[in-house]
Structure 1
């Protein structure tokens, strides 16, 4: 029984931290608020995660990565469209990613994706007008260009098609 309670508390802390970090970023998040939202003491939050750094990393690993979109260098337009879909359904993931880029740049390695794009470029499947790093940055930017925009009733399907088409034109050999 105690093991289940520990796991439930850990999960509540992760969920509360996700909400807090998405709303306030790493710098603005407060362990006391996270603990209050999770229904436990701040001391218990520190016991489970050791501090804000470790809790942020745990949120990144366990919550954000659970919503992972499989990367495919051979079909970057579809990858971008799936990433757009995910961000449309879960705008808080996009906010958290934005905070992560602003406050903790370089903490997530994209080396595997960059290398996959390089291979696709060598195979003639992806344009070599840009470096692999630039291609990845542009694809991610296009996929997320509406992620922080208010939902103005625009047609999701049309936006998705725009993302897919823009990336297709960008990477086409």
Structure 2
């Protein structure tokens, strides 16, 4: 019973932190608000995660990471479409990524994706007109450009995302 309560509290903290970080970013988020939303004390929130930075990392890895789509360097248009779908369903994920880019410059590591694109370029599957690093960043930008989650022409935009990436990477 005790471990279930701990897990439930931890989950409430993660869910509350997702809302708080998406709305206010890392710098603007407040542990007291997160604790209030999670219906626990701020002291307990600090006991679970130590501080905002650790809690933000937990949200990124446990909440966002669990929902992320599989990267496929041999099907970048499909990957971009799936990423667009995810951000359409969960615009708070796109906001978290934006806050991370704004507040933690250079901390996002996409080494595995870059290496996969580089290998696909060497195999002739992906164009080499841009560096592998630039291809990854461009694909992410295209997939995220309509991430507000409120559009009536979702399928049309998804097709546009896929076609733009297809043209970007075609050899």
Is the Cα contact below 8 Å between 2:88 and 2:150 reproduced in 1? no
Question: 2:12, 2:59 → 1: CA distance?
Answer: 11
Change over 3 Å in CA distance of 1:108–1:152 after alignment to 2: closer
| Superposition deviation, residue 31 in structure 1 | 0.3
Question: 1:120, 1:78 → 2: CA distance?
Answer: 15
Question: 2:150, 2:35 → 1: CA distance?
Answer: 31
| Superposition deviation, residue 66 in structure 1 | 1.1
Change over 3 Å in CA distance of 1:86–1:152 after alignment to 2: closer
SS in 1 for 2:95: helix
Q: Name structure 2 gaps, 5 residues minimum.
A: none
Question: 2:4, 2:136 → 1: CA distance?
Answer: 41
Q: Name structure 1 gaps, 5 residues minimum.
A: none
Taking only aligned residues, the RMSD between alpha carbons, in angstroms, comes to: 0.9
| Superposition deviation, residue 108 in structure 1 | 2.7
Question: Per-residue displacement from partner, 1:91-141 (whole Å, max 9, x unpaired)?
Answer: 011011100111112223100000000000000111111000000111000
| Superposition deviation, residue 152 in structure 1 | 4.4
Partner of 1:40: 40
Partner of 1:164: 162
Question: 2:75, 2:33 → 1: CA distance?
Answer: 42
- Structure 1 runs of 4+ aligned residues shifted over 6 Å read none
Question: 2:12, 2:124 → 1: CA distance?
Answer: 47
User: What TM-score do you get using the length of structure 2 for normalisation?
Assistant: 0.97
| Superposition deviation, residue 78 in structure 1 | 0.4
SS in 2 for 1:142: helix
Question: Per-residue displacement from partner, 1:138-161 (whole Å, max 9, x unpaired)?
Answer: 10000001113x7242x1111010
Partner of 1:87: 87
User: What TM-score do you get using the length of structure 1 for normalisation?
Assistant: 0.96
| Superposition deviation, residue 52 in structure 1 | 0.7
SS in 2 for 1:94: helix
Change over 3 Å in CA distance of 1:171–1:100 after alignment to 2: same
Aligned residues: 171
When structure 1 is superposed on structure 2, of 85-94 and 98-107 the one drifting more is: 98-107
Q: How does 1:1-16 map to 2 (within 5 A)?
A: 1-16=1-16
